[in-house]
């Protein structure tokens, strides 16, 4: 074996340094969530635990004081799941449908309509809070998981439409015509021809929507009720509680729990993510 060249050493050295830099917070969170509280308050945050324990995790999950109830994060975790899954599925499907219509069933002023939908991507959350609260009140959805999901669907459709429209505009129209001659209708073309060929962009849309909706705090805090608040709001209530001792180890465990699902989505679907973002931009 030949000795590695100095430039290689420099490159890998720098990469290693940055990796370390980014992994440090995770390291701190994980190690401290596995220590008894005394070890944190009494000393070194960076040290490994002297006594390993899962108690902070169990406490954060099922017994920690959230607001007025000692319920742990568990019910809020399920609130989040119940909100995220339908919101991601429905907004992605609607985006695909919009993209399909805007590229393959062109109509008068369709680009104008698309432009207006794009606008929704630039509207800050704060602006829609009051009108949305009014709307949810009128429809009787205020404070429900369904209401929260609806807010996220409405907000997400602009993005998902953008993704799918750009993807489908590079999709050959001759395929749609061939399917028409073969006798497929509007929906059959969508389900049988368009959607099965949309893997990469669906991954992008799902990751984007999942991350945004799961991590959202503002809508959750504004429109969530005690039995519909998502994980992010509950985590805030856990960490911000003003009574008793601050259980930092429990807080760390709770924070990791709140971050795990998005990490999982990235790990599972991440390798398609870049491919999907690039799709259509380069002729392949």
CA-nearest of 156, 175, 162, 163 to 199 is: 163
Q: Is 178 in the site for other proteins (CB under 8 A)?
A: yes
Q: Is 184 in the site for other proteins (CB under 8 A)?
A: yes
**Interface of this chain with other proteins, residues 156 to 175, rule: CB under 8 A:** 172, 174-175
Distance CA 209, CA 214 (A): 8
Q: Is 179 in the site for other proteins (CB under 8 A)?
A: yes
Stretch that binds other proteins, among 72-80, 160-168, 191-199, 263-271 (CB under 8 A): 191-199
Interface with other proteins (CB under 8 A), residue total 16
* Distance in Å, CB of 106 to other proteins, minimum: 13
Class of residue 267 by CB neighbours under 10 A (exposed 0-12, middle 13-18, buried 19+): exposed
Q: Is 51 in the site for other proteins (CB under 8 A)?
A: no
* Closer by beta carbon to other proteins, 129 or else 175: 175
- Tell me which of 6, 131, 196, 244 binds other proteins, using CB under 8 A: 196
* Closer by beta carbon to other proteins, 244 or else 284: 284
- Tell me which of 96, 193, 238, 257 binds other proteins, using CB under 8 A: 193
Stretch that binds other proteins, among 8-16, 131-139, 177-185, 223-231 (CB under 8 A): 177-185
- What token pair was written down for 214? 């799961």
Q: Is 110 in the site for other proteins (CB under 8 A)?
A: no
232, 217 Cβ separation under 8 angstroms: yes
Q: 3-state SS of the chain? A: CCCCCHHHHHHHHHHHHHHHHHHHHHHHHHHHHCCCHHHHHCCCCCCCCCCCCCHHHHHHHHHCCECCECCCCHHHHHHHHHHHHHHHHHHHHHHHHHHHHHHHCCCCCHHHHHHHHHHHHHCCHHHHHHHHHHHHHHHCCCCCHHHHHHHHHHHHHHHHHHHHHHHHHCCCHHHHHHHHHHCCCHHHHHHHHHHHHCHHHHHHHHHHHHHHHHHCCHHHHHHCCCCCCCHHHHHHHHHHCCCCCCCHHHHHHHHHHHHHHHHHHHHHHHHHHHHHHHECCECC
* Closer by beta carbon to other proteins, 121 or else 178: 178
- Tell me which of 192, 227, 264, 274 binds other proteins, using CB under 8 A: 192
* Closer by beta carbon to other proteins, 134 or else 192: 192
- What token pair was written down for 27? 């390291």
* Distance in Å, CB of 173 to other proteins, minimum: 9
* Distance in Å, CB of 200 to other proteins, minimum: 13
Q: Is 203 in the site for other proteins (CB under 8 A)?
A: no
Q: Is 112 in the site for other proteins (CB under 8 A)?
A: no
* Distance in Å, CB of 170 to other proteins, minimum: 13
Q: Is 182 in the site for other proteins (CB under 8 A)?
A: yes
* Distance in Å, CB of 19 to other proteins, minimum: 37
Residues that bind other proteins (CB under 8 A): 172, 174-175, 177-184, 188, 192-193, 196-197
């Amino acid at each position: 074996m030949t000795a590695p060249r100095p430039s290689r050493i420099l490159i890998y050295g720098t990469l290693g340094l940055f990796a370390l830099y980014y992994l440090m917070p995770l390291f701190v969170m994980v190690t401290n969530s596995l220590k008894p509280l005394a070890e944190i308050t009494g000393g070194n945050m960076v040290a490994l635990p002297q006594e390993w324990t899962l108690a902070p995790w169990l406490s954060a999950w099922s017994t920690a004081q959230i607001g007025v109830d000692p319920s742990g994060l568990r019910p809020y975790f399920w609130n989040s799941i119940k909100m995220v899954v339908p919101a991601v599925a429905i907004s992605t499907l609607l985006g695909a449908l919009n993209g399909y219509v805007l590229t393959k069933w062109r109509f008068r002023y369709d680009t104008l309509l698309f432009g207006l939908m794009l606008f929704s991507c630039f509207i800050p959350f704060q602006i829609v809070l009051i009108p949305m609260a009014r709307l949810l009140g009128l429809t009787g959805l205020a404070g429900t998981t369904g209401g929260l999901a609806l807010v996220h669907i409405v907000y997400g459709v602009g993005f998902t439409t953008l993704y799918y429209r750009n993807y489908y505009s590079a999709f050959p129209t001759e395929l749609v015509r061939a399917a028409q001659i073969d006798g497929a209708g509007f929906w059959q073309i969508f389900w049988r021809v368009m959607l099965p060929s949309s893997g990469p962009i669906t991954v992008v849309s799902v990751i984007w929507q999942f991350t945004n909706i799961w991590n959202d705090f503002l809508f959750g805090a504004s429109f969530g009720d005690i039995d519909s608040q998502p994980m992010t709001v509950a985590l805030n209530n856990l960490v911000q509680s003003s009574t008793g001792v601050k259980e930092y180890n429990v807080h760390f465990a709770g924070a990791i729990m709140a971050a795990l699902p998005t990490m999982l989505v990235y790990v599972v679907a991440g390798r398609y993510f870049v491919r999907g973002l690039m799709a259509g931009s380069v002729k392949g």
